[in-house]
Amino acid sequence: MKRIVKALTAVVLTGAVVYILYSSFRSRDNSSEDDMVIYSGIGSKIASLDPGNIGDTSSSAVASQIFECLYDYHYLKRPYQLIPKLAEDMPKVDEDRIVYTIKIKKGVYFTDDFCFDGRRRELIAEDFVYSWKRLANIKYLSRNWWIFDGRIKGLDDFREYTKSCKSMDEVDYSRPVEGLKVLDKYTLRITLTKPWPQILYLLAHLPTAPVAKEAVNYYGKSIINHPIGTGPFVLKKWNRGSYIEMVLNEGFRDEFYPSQGQEMDIKNGYLADAGKKLPFADRLFFMLIEEDPPMWFLFLQGKLDASAIPKDNFQQAIQEGQNLSEELVEKGVELKTYRNPSTYWIGFNMEDPVLGKNKPLRQAIACCIDKKHYIDLFTNNRAEMAQGFIPPLMKSYDPEITERGFHCDIERGKKLVEQAKQLNKGMLPVLTLAMPSTDVVARQYGQFYKKSFKEIGLELEIDYMDWPTYLEKMHRKDLQMFQSGWIADYPDAENFLQLFYGKNVSPGPNSFNYINAEFDKLYEEASVMPDTPERTKLYRQAQEMIIEDCPAVFLLHGVAFTLHHSWVENYKPNTFQQGLSKFRRINVEKRRAYKY
């Protein structure tokens, strides 16, 4: 018997040792170390690489390395400034601000592909018209029709026409649209239904990037797997649910690193590559890593070039609130903090019979939340307290707003609850707050809210649900209160104002179902105005109106903390620009010398 035990033990141990040695030996064999490769982690699955149907940030971040838009944000200048990208210059706009004439760059080519029959395919003005009509095609089921909805003359009629087609293939794209005209091979004219100053921001937004008709026709539904753009990188491999590999687009046009920036950019080394041809990297890897621990370990091992800081590792990474820990400084890690164009809130459904007609009740709730404690507890102080919806990053942000709005004031809250009871003609019912998640963190939020409500004498129930259920209930106006937020698509507070516009009630973006004729009038006036001090005044006025009516308790504006290794150069954060990999440079020697 002893011999059996010995033999078995020997077999098992030998097997385990051989397995471990083999695996460890092979895992250190990293042949890609000599290339200039950028390794990035992405936290959620890529749903599509077809720009017309992209609706999530991860997919946008990846696809924007391949596709380009007419305009883009300057990489270094702040406040954010638009510059031409596929456009030759900024557009010529008529006096009424209705007609935009845009010249596109000559000599820009789509990446080579079978669908072009072996010929180089130049980008022409017609490609934009086709791509935008494609967004309008209802059979395409784009998530991004909202961009052009009601904006361009005749495009809504084109959408109506597509409803009569039986399938996507039946749609006749040669059908004219009054507001989209090709004047010559390289000139495009857009005619709007009314002034729309935000159009240029949207023409820098990925879903408006041009796609080639031949590619769409050739690949049909599988176009999502075959992104063919004009950008600096080409898709090499998409191992779905795992990683994406891109290589340099050999035919990429001459584009150069910016030569101008802010004063501090020279000191920070962001202008060292001024005037050099882009991109610098040979290859890009986007690794799908949905869990925090492996993302953090891979960053510390030097496998990933940059990382956010997971909540559980914050103490390890940051000391005294803002500074990088000594351990990470020794490793050569650098910290970048920057404001996000985001606002988070507890929203009220204004159609709810209890909350909708009871302003004191809503204001009481606004008084019971200790935002400072909330930010400390849930974000490790990676946020700023919000009193209104316009984040500090926006030009129209009102710095004096911190003095106004609703601050944590339990006594005032209690008084407002008494008023609310009178208005309700009796006791207040148990209120329900919907949380768009069922995980542990959501439950921690729930506990915090319950405790806060209790302090002013309100009873609260939390309804935890998955995201799709939450979305469905929100669209059906079935939620009484909800935790939510918004990250701006472009640096104009109009993007936040439209969330309260009466015509946008659920299932539109106005999830509060807030209707106020006076606010709508202000919105309609301000949203067509160019960026002037008068418009800023109107924006702030509209915000004041919302604060007073209180369809939401504004909690915080996000502040991002990003870490990157010292071998990643030109790492200047940019919240609006996409396709940033072309600016980054990897110091291969430094990376090789890294020890963890």
Partner 1 sequence: MLSYIIRRSLYIVPIIFGVMLVTFLLFNIVRGDITDQIAGKAASAETRAEIRKEFGLDKPLFFNDEYSPFTTAFWDSQFFNHLKSAITFDFGYSYNDRELIWDKIKRGAGPSLALTVPMLIGTIVISISLSLVAAYFRGKWFDYAIVLLSITGMSLPFLSFILFGQYFLAFKWGLFPVYFWPDLSVWQYTALPALIGIAAGIGGNLRFYRTVMLDELGNDYVRTAYAKGLSPQRVLFKHVLKNAMIPIVTQIILAIPFLFLGSLLLERFFGIPGLGYLMIGAIGSRDDKIINAMVYISAILFVIFNLITDICYAMVDPRVKFD
Which positions lie near partner 1, rule CB under 8 A? 1, 3-5, 8, 12, 16, 19-20, 22-24, 26-32, 45-48, 55, 138-139, 141-143, 145-146, 149, 163, 221, 224-225, 239-243, 245, 285, 287-291, 293-294, 297-298, 300-301, 303, 466-469, 471-472, 475, 507-509
Report the nearest approach of partner 1 to the CB of residue 168 (Å): 10
Identify the residue whose tokens are 């809250």: 413
Q: How many CA atoms lie within 13 A of 392 on its CB side?
A: 16
Report the nearest approach of partner 1 to the CB of residue 62 (Å): 13
Q: Which is nearer to partner 1, 59 or 480 (CB)?
A: 59
Count H helices and E strands in the chain, helices first: 19, 22
Q: Which is nearer to partner 1, 145 or 445 (CB)?
A: 145
Secondary structure class of 220 (helix, strand, coil)? helix
Report the nearest approach of partner 1 to the CB of residue 84 (Å): 27
CB burial of 243-259 (b: ≥16 within 10 Å; e: otherwise) equals bbbbbbbeebbeeebbe
Q: Which is nearer to partner 1, 30 or 174 (CB)?
A: 30
Q: Which is nearer to partner 1, 27 or 174 (CB)?
A: 27
CB atoms within 10 A of CB 369: 22
Alpha helices in 346-482 (DSSP H): 359-368, 371-379, 410-424, 440-455, 467-475
Six-digit token string for 245: 């590999």
Report the nearest approach of partner 1 to the CB of residue 81 (Å): 26
Report the nearest approach of partner 1 to the CB of residue 514 (Å): 17
CB atoms within 10 A of CB 267: 9
Is residue 258 within 8 A of residue 267, CB to CB? The reply is no
Report the nearest approach of partner 1 to the CB of residue 163 (Å): 7
Report the nearest approach of partner 1 to the CB of residue 173 (Å): 18
Q: Which is nearer to partner 1, 506 or 516 (CB)?
A: 506
Cα separation, 29 vs 216, in Å, equals 40
Q: Which is nearer to partner 1, 7 or 264 (CB)?
A: 7
Cα separation, 564 vs 286, in Å, equals 15
- Of the candidates 90, 122, 129, which has an alpha carbon nearest to the alpha carbon of residue 107? 122
Report the nearest approach of partner 1 to the CB of residue 577 (Å): 22
DSSP string spanning 206-263? GGGS---HHHHHHHGGGGGG----SSSEEEEEEETTTEEEEEE-TT----B--S---H
Cα separation, 340 vs 485, in Å, equals 12
Q: Which is nearer to partner 1, 176 or 293 (CB)?
A: 293
Q: Which is nearer to partner 1, 36 or 287 (CB)?
A: 287
